[in-house]
């Protein structure tokens, strides 16, 4: 490919809406263009990278026993009614009607479709295990599409589904996919961690997210400083912290004006924050009230709260009126005096506290001498781990301190058990002719998000520094002055020599100033730049620059190819 023919419109300025580096560089380097919020066109450079990522994924899925198929994007509502997700999926689902008024959606994921496909065909244990996958556009009407390809509304996903006859088989399939994902991200040249994750609304028991490490990633993960434990912050299990035992004081009301925040309360009463209890009030989609209590210096983990209340969906902050109706007072809350029928969830650490301060469910009033084990006597009160992990918390496996890191969820693997096969009647006959529901797993990789994550992890102020495996081109040959015939001819020769040894090469033959071309090379981020100027023509001196390190080498015409191949091995 010649740069003079390449459709890669580069820009000097960053569009205002591009908040993160990957979005900015993809825009400026001519990789993507927006058509509507969260909806993008991939230009040739981006598409080359996407195809490389897809091919790595394909090879690894095939090697693990997956078979590629292609399903429709349009999905009839009936399948989703069967699984119960037509209503549960909420506003994220892009819905439409056909001319007969029948409901359809643009697939946000394909569990229902896959289950429906195999239930009609898979009858016997002899047809198992089975793994089917596709690489296809998915649609999710995200509440906040942003960060370019990172969180878009139409995005490319590889989704694989496994079907097994028993738990052991399902776990074996899960392990195969876990290993295949490890290979995919390793081959893409990315630094990543598989982390234990919450299964969320999809159901099932086991899950890992494959998180590409990057400082401004949306995911926060806890990594043990000693053992190999790593988990998303939502998932990290925490044990209750024991407070030093004290003699229990009686409960006593104190007037605390303008102390609806913990900071104000601590300031006013001059108590340590570890002696306070704070509340967060949620309302479910069915308008049930959930009150969650944690120690003042801890944060509530919403996912754990949701998991603690069966059937709770789409939590939002509770309205003051709802709180008041339950006997509470926003900003001054404790379980004491809250009416029956409210879900009260108290973090296990709170139950171990002595003589704490908590709200009295009256404006500007708190209780002192709160001893949760004695005073929180509400019927149905749930005590469990609902706090969010923070730096230094103990590892649930070995007790060593955890450290917090940020990253980007590029893929996720789940076991699903029989959730979909039972709901949708996908059954098979075992060796004894007995009928069982299929055991399933599902496994997704965001292809565009992986590309964006690669940029977040590999860039500098001048642009992208692609890992070789997923760079749009591995090598760029730049004719410094393409108006000079001898230089252009020499660059053409070198371009041909590179291609001959199967290096994925671009020839920058544009009649632009050298400075402009070099800037574009750095912005687009080809791993290796070969510069062909007068010295190359006259002395056979070939200049090779490594994008990532900025190192410059000079090789002879005879040896440069081997050296470039050698350099690429480490990129
Ligand atoms: P998130 O929590 O970030 O919304 P998710 O957990 O809902 O993602 P999955 O259903 O696990 O996503 O989808 C599999 C993969 O698809 C994700 O790991 C991610 O790489 C990708 N993906 C999901 N949503 C988007 C999106 N809106 N834009 C781009 N990629 C996405
Ligand atoms: Mg996910």
Percent with pLDDT over 90 in the chain: 93
Of the listed ligands, the closest to the CA of 444 is 1
Q: What is the 3-state secondary structure (H, E, C) of 265-291?
A: HHHHHCCCHHHEEEEEEEECCCCCEEE
Q: What is the pLDDT of residue 281?
A: 96
> How far is ligand 2, taken at its centre, from the CA of residue 147, in Å?
17
Which residue CA neighbors atom 6 of ligand 1 most closely?
412
The arithmetic mean of pLDDT across residues 300-315, rounded, is: 88
Q: Rounded to 10 degrees, what is the CA torsion of 29, 153, 315, 392?
A: -30
The arithmetic mean of pLDDT across residues 458-469, rounded, is: 97
> How far is ligand 1, taken at its centre, from the CA of residue 385, in Å?
26
Q: What is the pLDDT of residue 88?
A: 87
How far, in Å, CA of 259 to CA of 263, rounded?
Answer: 8
Instruction: Write the pLDDT tens digit of every residue in 245-301.
Output: 999 999 999 999 999 899 999 999 999 999 999 999 999 988 999 999 999 999 999
How would residue 203 be classed by pLDDT, with cut points 50, 70 and 90? low
Residue 200 has pLDDT above 90, yes or no: no
How would residue 469 be classed by pLDDT, with cut points 50, 70 and 90? very high
Instruction: Write the pLDDT tens digit of every residue in 524-562.
Output: 999 999 999 999 999 999 999 999 999 999 999 999 999
Q: What is the pLDDT of residue 312?
A: 80
Mean pLDDT of the chain: 95
Residue 202 has pLDDT above 80, yes or no: no
How would residue 190 be classed by pLDDT, with cut points 50, 70 and 90? very high
How far, in Å, CA of 23 to CA of 151, rounded?
Answer: 11
Of the listed ligands, the closest to the CA of 443 is 1
Which residue CA neighbors atom 1 of ligand 1 most closely?
409
Q: Which residues lie with the beta carbon below 6 Å from any ligand 1 atom?
A: 109, 140, 142, 151-152, 155, 157, 409-412, 444, 446, 448-449
Q: What is the pLDDT of residue 286?
A: 87
Instruction: Write the pLDDT tens digit of every residue in 108-163.
Output: 999 999 999 999 899 999 999 999 999 999 999 999 898 999 999 999 999 999 99
- Top mutation candidate among 151, 153, 155, 446 for ligand 1, by most atoms within 8 Å of CB: 446
Of 167, 154, 173, 160, the C-alpha closest to 41 is 154
Q: What is the pLDDT of residue 360?
A: 96
Which residue CA neighbors atom 13 of ligand 1 most closely?
444
How would residue 216 be classed by pLDDT, with cut points 50, 70 and 90? confident
Query: φ and ψ at 322, to 5 degrees?
Result: -65, -40
Q: What is the 3-state secondary structure (H, E, C) of 432-460?
A: CCCEEECEEEEEEEEHHHHHHHHHHHCEE
> How far is ligand 1, taken at its centre, from the CA of residue 411, in Å?
7
Tokens matching residue 391? 């730096």
> How far is ligand 1, taken at its centre, from the CA of residue 482, in Å?
44
Which residue CA neighbors atom 21 of ligand 1 most closely?
446
Which residue CA neighbors atom 3 of ligand 1 most closely?
409
Question: Could you give the 3-state DSSP secondary structure of residue 318?
Answer: coil
Which residue CA neighbors atom 24 of ligand 1 most closely?
151
The arithmetic mean of pLDDT across residues 167-183, rounded, is: 97
> How far is ligand 1, taken at its centre, from the CA of residue 446, in Å?
6
CA-CA distances (angstroms) from residue 47 to 41, 384, 445?
9, 47, 17
Helix axes 21-28, 447-457, angle to 10 degrees: 100
Determine the atom of ligand 1 nearest the C-alpha atom of 153.
Answer: 27
Q: What is the pLDDT of residue 201?
A: 62
The arithmetic mean of pLDDT across residues 177-183, rounded, is: 98
């Amino acid at each position: 490919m010649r740069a003079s023919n390449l459709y890669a419109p580069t820009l000097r300025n960053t569009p205002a809406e591009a908040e993160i580096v990957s979005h900015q560089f993809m825009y400026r380097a001519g990789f993507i263009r927006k058509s509507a919020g969260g909806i993008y066109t991939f230009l040739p450079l981006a598409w080359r990278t996407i195809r490389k990522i897809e091919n790595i994924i394909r090879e690894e899925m095939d090697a693990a026993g997956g078979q590629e198929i292609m399903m429709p994007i349009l999905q009839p509502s009936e399948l989703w009614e069967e699984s119960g997700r037509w209503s549960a999926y909420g506003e994220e689902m892009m819905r439409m009607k056909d001319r007969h008024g029948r409901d359809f959606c643009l697939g946000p994921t394909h569990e229902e479709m896959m289950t429906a496909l195999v239930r009609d065909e898979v009858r016997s244990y002899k047809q198992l295990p089975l793994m089917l996958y596709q690489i296809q556009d998915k649609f999710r009407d995200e509440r906040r599409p942003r960060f370019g390809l990172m969180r878009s509304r139409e995005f490319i996903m590889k989704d694989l589904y496994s079907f097994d006859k028993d738990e052991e088989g399902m776990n074996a399939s899960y392990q195969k996919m876990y290993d295949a994902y490890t290979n995919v991200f390793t081959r893409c040249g990315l630094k990543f961690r598989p982390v234990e994750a919450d299964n969320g609304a999809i159901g099932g028991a086991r899950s890992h997210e494959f998180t590409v490490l990057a400082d401004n990633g949306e995911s926060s993960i806890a990594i043990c400083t000693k053992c190999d434990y790593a988990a998303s912050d939502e998932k990290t299990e925490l044990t209750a912290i024991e407070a030093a035992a004290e003699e229990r004081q009686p409960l006593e009301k104190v007037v605390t004006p303008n102390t609806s925040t913990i900071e104000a309360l601590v300031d006013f009463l001059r108590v340590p924050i570890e002696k306070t209890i704070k509340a967060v009030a949620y309302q479910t989609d069915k308008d049930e009230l959930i009150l969650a209590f944690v120690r003042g210096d801890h944060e509530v983990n919403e996912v754990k709260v949701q998991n603690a209340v069966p059937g709770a969906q789409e939590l939002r902050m509770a309205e003051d009126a709802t709180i008041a109706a339950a006997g509470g007072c926003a900003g001054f809350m404790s379980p004491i005096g809250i009416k029956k029928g409210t879900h009260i969830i108290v973090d296990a650490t709170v139950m171990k506290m002595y003589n704490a301060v908590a709200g009295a469910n009256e404006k500007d009033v708190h209780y002192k001498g709160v001893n949760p084990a004695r005073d929180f006597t509400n019927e149905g009160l749930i005590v469990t781990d609902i706090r969010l992990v923070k730096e230094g918390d103990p590892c649930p496996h070995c007790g060593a301190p955890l450290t917090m890191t940020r990253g980007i969820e590029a893929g996720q693997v789940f076991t699903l058990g029989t959730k979909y096969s039972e709901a949708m009647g996908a059954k098979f006959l075992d060796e004894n002719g007995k009928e069982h529901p299929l055991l399933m797993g599902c496994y997704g990789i965001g292809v565009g998000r992986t590309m964006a994550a690669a940029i977040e992890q590999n860039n500098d102020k001048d642009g992208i520094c692609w890992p070789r495996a997923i760079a749009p081109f591995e090598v760029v040959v730049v004719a410094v002055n393409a108006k000079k015939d001898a230089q252009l001819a020499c660059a053409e020769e070198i371009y041909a020599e590179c291609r001959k040894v199967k290096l994925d090469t671009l020839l920058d033959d544009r009649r632009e100033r050298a400075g402009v071309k070099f800037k574009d090379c750095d912005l687009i981020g080809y791993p290796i730049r070969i510069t062909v100027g007068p010295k190359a023509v006259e002395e056979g001196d070939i200049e090779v620059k490594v994008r990532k390190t900025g190192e410059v080498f000079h090789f002879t015409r005879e040896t440069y190819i081997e050296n470039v191949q050698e350099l690429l091995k480490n990129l």
